[in-house]
Amino acid sequence: MQSLKQEFFLFTLFTFLLAVGIFGYFNAPLGAEEKESESKEIQALQEKFEDLNHRLDVLEKAVDDLLWYHRVGDIAYVDKVRHFGPPPAKVPNPTAMGAKNPVKFFSYIFIPRTIDYNKKSPLLVFPHGGVHSNFNTYNVHIIRELVAQGYVVIAPDYRGSTGYGKDMYEQIDYGGLENEDVYAARNYILENYEFLDKDRVGILGWSHGGMIALMNIFNYPNDYKVAYAGVPVSDLIARMGYSAESYRELYSASYHIGKTATEDVQEYRRRSPAWNAEKLQTPLLIHTNTNDDDVYVLEVEHLIKSLKAAGKKFEYEIYKDAPGGHSFDRLDTQQAKKIRLKVYDFLAQYLNPPHPFKDIKTLTRAGYPGAH
């Protein structure tokens, strides 16, 4: 028994000393070269994880693309085309071969299967939201509702969109050349689909997409008949003030704006709809929600006040604590459908679709297969 106790004591002591030794090894002060080597290894691992995330985004995008055909293929011809916008906003090596070539990107096209090719059809441009996101089947019911009314829809995955790898991700130019990509998508489809009516083109979007819709009608007022901006990002200066540091870093990244709002307030102002309100000429409807926890209502209120101060005519509605917060009118609830019906009624005044919705029942039957 005594021998066992001694062995156990020695084993415990050995284990303790081994643990102390290992702890001391990994926590011992490192020399300059060792620290530099360790730092490089950590950075390399971080880059590998980032690359893996982009590869997973590509895979997720490929799967979601298949879902489009499954979920709207019964009422729409679905296609995905590749075209281009302006050259990159930032070119690390301007003298490299092809460094200033236009940025290539994809756009989704949805054409009603009931389309009459002997008549001209209205077009809606639909930019997606998200700082880094893409157009995906989150929007499936809205696409079904638009197509059922007779709209052709183009939805661009402009520069900075996810699902196309790291290079595309780092092409982001929030509030800048992404607006030109969306305008390029408009021009592409009008140039290549002769059955579209160039005088019946509208644009709609939510959140970041609402911001792009606003900037497009500000920059190209004669090329859009109407616009809808839902919970639009409106004031990047204010937004940087209430957002977390990790969010602000998306903008100050070296491949993006490269500066904080504090360092270059004028650049953030240039990219903000609220600071460009005097340019409005196009019929516009704005919706926002007081309990939006993404785009705070104060941003959209600034836009509304700026438009009023500039003497602009437009329509808006501020919803009071509507369920759903940022997504309040994109849900599948009765209230969300009623709000979308208001949006569609507004668009129809200017675009005259062949099959406008008469009521919620018509909208529901169109957007939700099997619903009656």
3-state secondary structure of 173: coil
Cβ atoms of 193 and 116 within 8 Å: the answer is: no
At 80-115, the pLDDT tens digits run 999 999 999 998 888 999 989 999 999 999 999 999
The pLDDT, as a whole number, for residue 42 is 75
Q: Where are the domains of the chain?
A: 40-235+272-367
Percent of the chain with pLDDT over 90: 83
State the Cα–Cα distance between residues 329 and 322, nearest whole angstrom.
Answer: 9
Please give the CATH number for the structural domain made up of 40-235+272-367: 3.40.50.1820
Residue 219 CA: distances (Å) to CA of 123, 272, 338: 19, 12, 31
End-to-end CA distance of the chain: 83
**Which of the residues in the chain have pLDDT under 70?**
1-30, 36
State the Cα–Cα distance between residues 198 and 190, nearest whole angstrom.
Answer: 7
Global pTM reads: 0.88
The pLDDT, as a whole number, for residue 41 is 75
